[in-house]
């Protein structure tokens, strides 16, 4: 493969050019940068040794093309060539082509397999497309004249209307050219709408000069033995909108993706759990429970039947919880505590009993009716947290029904490793999966933030959700491959797809092993900046896993687990014992304890709010709830303060939206401290107090809040929803909820700038922190700390060690100017090139 070297006085400029060029060909062409000098006060300049090293890093006998900007760049490049062995000097070419356009044209030609002279010719003609569109020059006839073809070869022709939003701009044009060059046939294309001449389909410059926009009609011809195959491949690109999001303006985004002909057997879905799986498919279909409604005379006996089924269901859920705690940890297993609470809900039980006694309904019909009512009420609220709870309601409801009708549980027993294909998986089903046998999950529905998806990620099972329902018709044993990171699956994948995925799978496994080996080392960037990597936890067992994985502290202790699955609030002594036990495991590492974050979307059964909330996520929760329950709040603060003796414990307040709330909480904290002093009880008088930044109001007044507290922690899960005003589980808007959206990133940047201006630290504890693709963005934004789930710590540390702050800051500057989260991800994937 031909190598490309970009020489510039400005490192940021050169990195930007490389980033843009790499996007054109998905990193298929080696591109090296030699730019700037190591002088912080005057970084502009060129260094011949840098250029020499860049050439050497991409050198091949096919040739190296060097593109330069002005002045000394050319001199440095000429001098660098002199350092090479004489045999290599003959294969390095300096090109006068324009830097940006020339680099794009060159990489596309190189990716298409052109020789070095053809690549140089494309680079030199790169300004033609721009000049033609601006009307500065007319298209030279010599460039568009079709070459002589074999008259015996068939010529085929297709006409199509361009539908993707921006037409054949740079990336689609590059895909068109690369696809055209895969075939022996000669490809020509004409823009009928603009009445252009025929141009060669294997020339990026000529295809770009067609000026193709959405709605234009093209005619594409192919002459050669494989003409039909070539046109089919090109037509598939247009049918798939060149892989770009192309939702019509008057039509909301759809949740399920259609089959696309871009790659045979390729399916697009929702990325839910990272990793690659390649295995035969096995369908999972839960046992259908059919119930019949009928009249009963002995209502007491019917009520006893239902109570017995509920009692057994509780025992089963307890067993699932115990197994899940060992396999996925207490924090994720806590969802089954919620299922137990559901079965103990007096309102639910009274409603079922009333149907049995008043309407003389059989237990099955009465139970189904009340479960359906509860599920419908959750769906009607259209709140993200409650939407996800519907899965748990249905899960526990089906468990009781199965026991009532006497159906056996539909356990999955796999003889050989397989990819599980299903309509959906309940949390109970997912928690029972064996990662050694279930290599991947592919469902036609589901949400990436559902409990089932969270469990799959914790188990390390790759998962793609929301796949087209046609997948349910595949025969068991059909070979499937899926990539849980990109959200794609392939049915009977072609050999080149298998090769790519196998390589990615092996790289993933190697990276995991390497990350684990260095997990206990500090996370230090290539240019020497250390970033703290903490853990998000929800139990004592979580902190043990975190320390084993190299956590440098706990950035978020969710205390809600202490308050759930009980009939009264935990006492001060109960909380003190837990906080001390966790601090003991941390062995003087920092421990940030978030005060109780319930209410609204996470109600406590023993505290009645007195009225339903139509939108709990915007309701009475977090600090708002605690300020209205001072006894509850003070009890927790006393326990935290008492546990702080001899440990690095900090307090963090959730759901802060105003300075008044912070000051009110600090007054209460002061009262508790005064009470402890009066009682002669020791505590850390200098314990730091911080806040969660998770609502836009907090970002807007971050400078004022920073004057009140000692640190910030950004919660991107909630912040993304609030900024985008979108429910993550609503299929019509779920695609908008993405923490990498430039609007969210700008909020994060504003928060960090305000914190640092006030001299306080700022961390991030949302799921974004665990996404290693986003690590370069988070470093470039200037975060001091990342707090992630315990299993992600090794990978995040490894990602930090592969980056440097200067390049990360340059990527952030570009990311903040992008149009969408998808554009940001593409920018990152083509910019971050880990060192060998």
What is the domain-level CATH number for residue 27?
Answer: 3.40.50.510
Residue 250 pLDDT class (50, 70, 90 cuts): very low
User: Span 375-392, mean pLDDT?
Assistant: 60
pLDDT higher than 70, residue 135: no
Does residue 504 lie in a domain region?
yes
Residue 108 or 662, more confident = 662
CA distance 186 to 290: 61
- Say if 521 falls within a structural domain: no
Q: Are 686 and 644 in contact (CB under 8 A)?
A: no
SS3 content of the chain, % helix, strand, coil (to 5): 50, 15, 35
**Are 173 and 82 found together in one domain?**
no
pLDDT average, residue stretch 390-406 = 84
Residue 135 in domain: no
- Domain for residue 519, yes or no? no
Does residue 782 sit in the same domain as residue 639?
yes
Q: Coil, strand or helix: which one is 625? A: helix
What 33-41 contacts at long range (C-beta under 8 Å, 24+ apart), as own/partner pairs, is: 33/5, 33/6, 33/8, 34/5, 34/6, 34/7, 34/8, 34/76, 34/80, 35/6, 35/7, 35/8, 35/9, 35/10, 35/11, 36/8, 36/9, 36/10, 36/11, 36/12
Cα(255)–Cα(258) distance, integer angstroms: 10
Residue 375 — very low, low, confident or very high, per pLDDT cuts 50/70/90?
confident
**256 domain residue, yes or no:** no
Shared domain for 350 and 481, answered yes or no, is no
Of the residues 95, 442, 626, 765, which is catalytic?
A: 765
Residues 496 and 575 in one domain: no
Instruction: Please report how the helices 805-815 and 821-831 are oriented relative to each other, as an axis angle in degrees rounded to 10.
Output: 150
Has residue 172 got a pLDDT over 50?
yes
Record the tokens describing residue 169, joined without a space.
């701009």
Residues 6+ apart with CB under 8 A from 5: 31, 32, 33, 34, 51, 54, 55, 58, 64, 65, 66, 67
* Per-residue pLDDT at 434: 82
186: domain CATH number is: 3.30.1340.10
Catalytic residue among 95, 216, 442, 451: 451
Average pLDDT rounded to a whole number, residues 158-164:
84
* Catalytic annotation present for 626: no
Confidence (pLDDT) at 602: 53
In a domain, 294, yes or no: no
State pLDDT tens for residues 801-825.
999 999 999 999 999 999 999 899 8
The pLDDT tens digits for 35-89 are: 988 777 778 888 888 899 899 989 998 999 999 987 778 888 888 888 888 888 9
Greater model confidence, 643 or 168: 643
Q: Is residue 133 part of a domain?
A: no
- Our count of domains for the chain comes to 5
At residue 272 the predicted structure's pLDDT band, cuts being 50, 70 and 90, is: confident
| Each residue's pLDDT tens digit, 473-503 | 889 999 999 998 888 899 998 888 898 899 8
Cβ contact 570:533 at 8 Å: no
Q: What is the pLDDT of residues 618-651, one digit of tens each?
A: 778 889 989 999 999 999 999 999 999 999 999 9
Residues 443 and 509 in one domain: yes
Structural domain including 365 reads 299-405
Average pLDDT over residues 552-574: 87
**Domain-ending residue, one of 405, 440, 461:** 405
Tokens 């837990």 locate to: 578
Same-domain pairing of 538 and 604: yes
CATH number of the CATH domain containing 311: 1.10.274.10
DSSP 198: P
Mean pLDDT of the chain: 83
Q: What is the mean pLDDT of residues 115-124?
A: 86
Q: End of a domain among 513, 548, 576?
A: 513
Q: What is the pLDDT of residue 376?
A: 77
How is 88-124 classified by DSSP, letter by letter?
Answer: HHTTEEEE-S-HHHHHHHHHHHHHTT--HHHHHHHHH
Do 395 and 492 sit in the same domain of this protein? no
Confidence of residue 12 (pLDDT cuts 50, 70, 90): confident
95 is catalytic: no
In this structure, the answer to whether residues 728 and 776 fall within a common structural domain is yes
Chosen domain end from 345, 378, 405: 405
CB under 8 Å to 539, separation ≥6 — which residues?
329, 330, 331, 334, 561
What CATH number should be reported for the domain holding residue 488? 3.50.30.10
| Stretch 394-421: mean pLDDT | 82
In this prediction, residue 144 carries a pLDDT of 39
Range of lowest pLDDT (129-133, 436-440, 516-520, 801-805) = 129-133
**Cα separation values, 46 from 57, 83, 119, 761, Å:** 17, 16, 25, 37
Q: Are residues 170 and 237 in the same domain?
A: yes
Say whether pLDDT at 247 is over 50: no
**92-101, 199-208, 270-279, 775-784: least confident range:** 199-208
Do 118 and 152 lie in a common domain?
A: no
Does the pLDDT of residue 153 top 70, yes or no? no
Question: In this prediction, what percent of the chain has a pLDDT beyond 70?
Answer: 84
Question: Which has more confidence, 651 or 163?
Answer: 651
- Count the Cβ atoms, other than its own, within 10 Å of residue 423: 15
State whether 503 and 534 are in the same domain. Answer: no
- Is 637 inside a domain boundary? yes
Residues 599 and 505 in one domain: no
Contacts (Cβ under 8 Å, ≥6 apart) of 617: 383, 384, 385, 600, 601, 718, 721
Give the pLDDT confidence score for residue 31 in this predicted structure: 93
Check residue 78 and give its pLDDT: 85
């Amino acid at each position: 493969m031909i190598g490309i070297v970009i020489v510039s006085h400005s490192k940021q400029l050169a990195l930007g050019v490389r980033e843009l060029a790499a996007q054109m060909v998905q990193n298929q062409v080696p591109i090296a940068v030699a730019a700037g000098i190591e002088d912080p006060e005057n970084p502009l300049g060129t260094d011949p040794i840098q250029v020499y090293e860049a050439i050497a890093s991409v050198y091949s006998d096919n040739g190296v093309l060097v593109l330069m900007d002005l002045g000394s760049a050319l001199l440095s490049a000429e001098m660098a060539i002199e350092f090479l062995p004489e045999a290599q000097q003959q294969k390095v070419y300096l090109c006068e082509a324009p830097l940006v356009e020339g680099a794009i044209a060159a990489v596309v030609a190189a990716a298409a397999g052109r020789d070095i002279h053809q690549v140089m010719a494309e680079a030199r003609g790169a300004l033609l497309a721009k000049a033609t569109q601006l009307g500065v020059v007319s298209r030279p006839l010599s460039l568009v004249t079709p070459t002589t073809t074999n008259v015996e070869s068939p010529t085929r022709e297709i006409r199509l209307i361009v539908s993707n939003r921006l037409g054949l701009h740079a990336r689609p044009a590059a895909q068109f050219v690369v696809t055209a060059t895969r075939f022996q046939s000669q490809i020509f294309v004409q823009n009928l709408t603009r009445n252009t001449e025929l141009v060669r389909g294997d020339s990026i410059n000529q295809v770009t000069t067609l000026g193709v926009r959405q709605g234009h009609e093209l005619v594409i011809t192919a002459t050669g033995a494989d003409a039909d195959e070539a046109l089919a491949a090109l037509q598939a690109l247009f049918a798939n909108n060149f892989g770009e999001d192309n939702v019509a303006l008057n039509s909301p985004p759809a949740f399920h993706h259609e089959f696309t002909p871009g790659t045979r057997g390729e399916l697009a879905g929702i990325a839910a759990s990272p990793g690659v799986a390649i295995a035969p498919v096995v369908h999972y279909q839960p046992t259908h429970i059919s119930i019949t409604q009928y009249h009963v005379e002995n209502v007491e006996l019917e009520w006893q039947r239902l109570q017995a089924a509920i009692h057994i269901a509780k025992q089963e859920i307890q067993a699932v919880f115990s197994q899940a705690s060992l396999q996925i940890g207490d924090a994720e297993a806590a969802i089954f505590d919620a299922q137990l609470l559901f079965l103990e809900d007096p309102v639910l039980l009274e409603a079922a009993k009333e149907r049995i006694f008043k309407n003389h309904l059989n237990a099955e019909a009465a139970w189904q009716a009340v479960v359906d009512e509860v599920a419908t009420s959750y769906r009607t609220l259209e709140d993200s947290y409650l939407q996800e709870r519907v899965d748990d309601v249905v899960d526990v409801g089906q468990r009781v029904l199965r026991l009532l009708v006497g159906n056996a549980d539909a356990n999955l027993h796999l003889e050989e490793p397989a990819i599980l294909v299903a309509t959906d998986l309940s949390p109970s089903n997912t928690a029972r999966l064996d990662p050694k046998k279930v290599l991947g999950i592919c469902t036609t529905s589901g949400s990436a933030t559902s409990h089932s998806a969270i469990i799959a990620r914790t188990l390390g099972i790759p998962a793609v959700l929301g796949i087209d329902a046609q997948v349910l018709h595949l025969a068991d044993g059909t070979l499937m491959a899926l990539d849980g990171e990109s959200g794609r699956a392939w049915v009977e994948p072609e050999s080149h797809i298998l090769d790519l995925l196998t390589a990615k799978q092996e790289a993933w496994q190697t990276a995991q092993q390497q990350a684990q080996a260095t997990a206990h080392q500090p996370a230090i960037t290539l240019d020497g900046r250390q970033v703290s990597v903490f853990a998000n936890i929800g139990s004592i067992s979580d902190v043990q896993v975190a320390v084993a994985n190299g956590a440098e502290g706990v950035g978020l202790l969710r205390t809600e687990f202490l308050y759930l699955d009980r009939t009264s609030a935990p006492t001060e002594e109960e909380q003190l014992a837990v906080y001390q036990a966790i601090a003991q495991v941390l062995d003087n590492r920092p421990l940030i304890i978030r005060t109780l974050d319930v209410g609204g979307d996470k109600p406590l059964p023993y505290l009645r709010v007195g009225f339903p909330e139509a939108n709990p996520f915007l309701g009475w929760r977090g600090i708002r709830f605690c300020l209205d329950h001072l006894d509850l709040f003070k009890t927790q603060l006393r326990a935290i303060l008492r546990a702080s003796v001899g440990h690095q414990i900090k307090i963090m307040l959730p759901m802060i939206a105003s300075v008044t709330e912070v000051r009110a909480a600090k007054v209460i904290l002061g009262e508790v401290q005064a009470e402890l002093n009066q009682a002669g009880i020791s505590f850390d008088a200098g314990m730091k107090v911080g806040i969660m930044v998770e609502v836009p109001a907090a970002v807007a007044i971050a400078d004022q809040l920073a004057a009140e507290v000692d640190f910030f922690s950004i919660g991107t899960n909630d912040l993304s929803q609030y900024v985008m005003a979108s429910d993550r589980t609503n299929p019509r808007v779920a695609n908008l909820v993405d923490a990498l959206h430039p609007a969210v990133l700008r909020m994060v940047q504003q928060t960090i700038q305000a914190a640092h201006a006030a001299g306080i630290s700022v961390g991030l504890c949302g799921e974004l922190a665990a996404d290693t693709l986003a690590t370069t963005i988070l470093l470039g934004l200037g975060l001091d700390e990342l707090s992630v789930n315990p299993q992600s710590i090794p990978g995040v540390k490894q990602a930090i060690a592969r980056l440097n702050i200067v390049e990360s800051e340059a990527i952030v500057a570009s990311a903040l100017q992008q149009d969408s989260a998808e554009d940001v991800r593409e920018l990152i994937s083509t910019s971050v090139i880990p060192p060998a």
